[in-house]
Structure 1
């Protein structure tokens, strides 16, 4: 019997690698003849870098770069020399996680540090760069990143504009003459699970800027900046920014990655599945065991389990889901393609027990599953 173990993490409780090891050990203790394939997954959010490294087997590169307010910090990314592939999370240099809650101020924040990480990867020989754009503290439409790569954003007096969100409306033209010569020798894939347009009520500023420290007045300023800058993008790159799904991701980094990096916006789970050679690895599997912290309607919107179901259905592979909690009834689970489901919260005494002892509960859930499978 071939069993593929392919979970996402249980946030603040269990990593996807820990999940794989616990389930594998329990299955083999009950069924030593089973063939186990471990394919830990992620959807592009926190912790994705560990999963990427599981497949890339790269080294951690450290670089002193600018934080969202141009202060020097040390940030890291992954680089696999053999495949010349780098994985960069913009949150490492330009993320909310770098700032205290009362320090957030996205109108004055920059993605310059993310550009510095990209530049370092290129200088180290990267030919493929995967860029994760979640968790940003910025709303500069990627002009900080682009500035670090040699783009120059000029005002009406032909002077360089400080690359922050508050200055977007002052940009009148873009100078491409000093862009890094090797930039377009690199293939960029952008992990983006957001479909928001660049500006407007569903755009980057109105939907996300408040949680990045913006006031109502800031939001109006930023939204106008994004709209104004979209016209510059149109005139220089001949791209209608507002029509690009995901353009508003990470404060406009979605459209920035497309026009400045010539990158392709793809779902995080799709990229991880490509790295893991998922579709080929699951061939002839009898079961796929997956899981995540909470299985609910959002699972259908590009999360890890949906990515698994998309791959398992054509191959008629049964899917078991071990989750922290499940907010979908059994009938709907079956219609989604999930044959077996179990949740930690039903094993535990309470939520605290579920979080603190997730490993033990997962082991017991696996034991019950194997017993009914035999």
Structure 2
């Protein structure tokens, strides 16, 4: 029997790699003769760097960068030298969690630090980039990132705009003359589960702005700024697609990566799966165990367990999802190739205990399932 272990992280409890180890302990305790293959997974959000670094035996690189408000912090990204692959989570430099709630300023927040991470990876010789979008504090359309990479966003007097999304309403010209020339020769892939366009009622400003502290007036100004960016970018580049699904990810960073840097954009779990070689690991598999901290009906919108289930179905393997919390509406996953949903924590368990005992609980739950399989 071949069993593939492909979980995401269990947030605040264990990394994807630790979840693989916990699952492996449960399998080998009951089925010692089983062939077990571990593939840490992610969907482009938190844990993507760790999952890919662990799966491909890369390393973490720490560098000083600007946070969303321009303050110097230390951020890290992943690098796999044998593949010249850099793995970046934009939230490491421009994430909402980097700014205390009482200091958040979405009007001025910038993705400049994301560009600094890309520059560091270019200096190391990276030719392939996987950039995870999610958890951003920004709504600047990726202009901060592009500024760090050499682009200039200018007003009517030829002066650079202030950082952030608010000042984009004054944008008149984009100068790409000094954009880092190394970007022409690299491959950039975007991993995100956000399908929002750049503009409109379902776009970056309207949907995600309030989550980052924007009031109604702020949303209106930010929407105007991104609209102006789309107009000037289209004139500069000879056409853009601001309504493309995913352009609104990370406050419009998805728009900048695709339109200015030629990035390819796919659902995060699919992009990570291709990077870590999940399809290869699934060859000949009988069962696939996946999971994350919580599963519900929204999991089918592109979260890791759903992406893994789809890949397993293509390989002819059966799937069991383990989670700390299984919401009743998660039963919809049973209509999408999943055999069973398993809650690893007893209902009513205090959250602090559930997080602390996550690895042991996962091992026990996997062992119980393996007894059924045996």
Q: TM-score range by the shorter chain?
A: over 0.9
Cα distance change of structure 1 residues 94 and 152 upon mapping to structure 2, 3 Å threshold: same
* 2: CA distance, partners of 1:208 / 1:250: 9
Deviation, structure 1 residue 243:
2.5
1:69 to 2:69 alignment: yes
Taking a change above 3 Å as real, the CA distance of residues 352 and 157 of structure 1, as seen in their structure-2 partners, is closer
**Structure 2 partner of 1:366:** 366
Q: Shift in Å at residue 367 of structure 1?
A: 2.1
Contact 1:233 1:241 in 2 (8 A): no
Structural mapping, 1:44-193, within 5 Å = 44-193=44-193
- Superposition TM-score, scaled by structure 2 size: 0.95
Distance 1:68 1:331 in 2: 39
Bigger mean CA offset, 258-267 vs 330-339 = 330-339
Question: For 1:62, what is the secondary structure of its paired residue?
Answer: strand
SS in 2 for 1:137: coil
Separation in structure 2 between the aligned mates of residue 368 and residue 27 of structure 1, nearest angstrom: 9
Q: Within 2, Cα distance between the matches of 1:264 and 1:202?
A: 22
Report the RMSD for the aligned CA atoms in angstroms: 1.8
**Once structures 1 and 2 are overlaid, which stretch shifts more, 204-213 or 101-110?**
204-213
Q: SS of 2:88's equivalent?
A: strand
Contact 1:152 1:174 in 2 (8 A): yes
The structural deviation recorded for 1:41 is: 0.8
Cα distance in structure 2, aligned partners of 1:32 and 1:121: 42
Per the TM alignment, residue 317 of structure 1 is displaced from its structure 2 partner at its CA by 1.1
Shift in CA distance, 331/69, structure 1 to aligned 2, threshold 3 Å: closer
Partner of 1:345, secondary structure, is coil
- Corresponding residue of 1:238: 238
Asked if structure 2 preserves the Cα contact closer than 8 Å seen for 1:103 and 1:213, the reply is no
Scaled by the length of structure 1, the TM-score of the pair is 0.95
Q: Could you tell me how far apart the structure 1 residues matched to 2:180 and 2:284 are? A: 46
Aligned pairs (5 A) from 1:215-226: 215-226=215-226
Q: Deviations over 1:102-126 (max 9, x none)?
A: 1110111111111111112112211
Partner-residue secondary structure (3-state), 1:236: helix
Segment of structure 1 superposing worse, 245-254 or 324-333: 324-333
Residue 182 of structure 1: SS of its match in structure 2? helix
Residue number in structure 1 paired with 2:17: 17
Deviates more, 1:184-193 or 1:235-244: 235-244
Q: In structure 1, what is the Cα distance between the partners aligned to 2:265 and 2:282?
A: 25
SS in structure 1 at match of 2:288: strand
Call closer, same or farther: CA 1:133–1:334 in 2, change over 3 Å.
Answer: closer
Match in the other structure for 1:194: 194
Alpha-carbon distance between aligned partners in 2 of 1:275 and 1:213, rounded to the nearest angstrom: 34
Over 3 Å counting, the alpha-carbon distance change for 1:71 and 1:295 in structure 2 is closer
- Quote the offset at 1:10 in angstroms: 1.8
> Is the contact between residue 44 and residue 89 of structure 2 (CA under 8 Å) also seen in structure 1?
no
Cα distance in 2 for residues equivalent to 1:94 and 1:210: 17
How far apart are residue 329 of structure 1 and its match? 6.6
- Show the 5 A alignment for 1:267-278: 267-278=267-278
Alignment coverage as a number of residue pairs: 374
Contact between 2:85 and 2:126, CA under 8 Å: does it hold in 1? yes
Distance in 1, matches of 2:329 and 2:112, equals 46
Write out aligned runs for 1:206-217 (5 A): 206-217=206-217
Q: Secondary structure at the match of 1:339?
A: strand
2: CA distance, partners of 1:230 / 1:105: 22
Q: What does residue 248 of structure 2 align with? A: 248
**Cα distance in structure 2, aligned partners of 1:351 and 1:72:** 34
Shift of 1:359: 2.5
Query: Is this contact kept in 2: 1:348–1:354, CA < 8 A?
Result: no
1:331, CA displacement in angstroms? 6.9
Q: Assess, with a 3 A threshold, how the Cα gap between structure 1 residues 116 and 332 changes in structure 2: closer, same or farther.
A: closer
Task: Tell me the SS of whatever aligns to 2:369.
Answer: helix
How far residue 360 of structure 1 moved from its aligned partner, in angstroms, is 2.7
> What are the ranges of 5 or more consecutive residues in structure 2 without an aligned counterpart?
none
